[in-house]
Amino acid sequence: MFKCFKNTKLALPNDFTVTAHSGCEFTADNSMEFVNKCVEINAQVAEMDITHRKNGAIVMIHKTLAENDEGVLFEDAIKFISENSDTIKCNLDLKSFDEIDKVVDIIDKYGMRDRCFFTGIAEEQVKAVKAQGKGVPYYLNVKFPPSKKHNEKYLCEIIKKIQDSGAIGINCHYSLASKEMVKLFRDNGLLLSFWTANTARVMKKLLLLSPDNITTRFPLKIKALIEKNA
Question: pLDDT tens, 135-187?
Answer: 999 999 999 999 999 999 999 999 999 999 999 999 999 999 999 999 999 99
Residue 195 has pLDDT above 80, yes or no: yes
Q: How far is Cα 225 from Cα 207, in angstroms, rounded to an integer?
A: 9
Residue 3 has pLDDT above 80, yes or no: no
Q: How far is Cα 117 from Cα 215, in angstroms, rounded to an integer?
A: 14
Q: How far is Cα 220 from Cα 20, in angstroms, rounded to an integer?
A: 9
Which tens digits make up the pLDDT trace of 11-69?
999 999 999 999 999 999 999 999 999 999 999 999 999 999 999 999 999 999 999 99
Share of the chain above pLDDT 70, in %: 97
Position 7 confidence tier, pLDDT thresholds 50, 70, 90: low
Q: Tell which residue, 147, 158, 113, has the closest CA to residue 133.
A: 113
Residue 4 has pLDDT above 90, yes or no: no
CB 21 within 8 A of CB 32: no
Residue 191, classified by CB atoms within 10 Å of its CB into exposed (0-12), middle (13-18) or buried (19+), is buried
Share of the chain above pLDDT 90, in %: 95
Q: Please report the pLDDT score of residue 1 as a whole number.
A: 39
* Residue spans per domain, the chain: 17-225
Terminal C-alpha separation, the chain: 18
Which tens digits make up the pLDDT trace of 72-110?
999 999 999 999 999 999 999 999 999 999 999 999 999
Under CATH, what is the fold of the domain 17-225? TIM Barrel (3.20.20)
At 183, the amino acid letter reads K
Mean pLDDT, residues 191-202 taken together: 98
Q: What is the pTM of this model?
A: 0.96
Residue 217 per-residue DSSP state? S
CA distances from 65 to 58, 88, 138, 190, 230 (A): 10, 27, 21, 31, 43
The number of residues making up the chain comes to 230
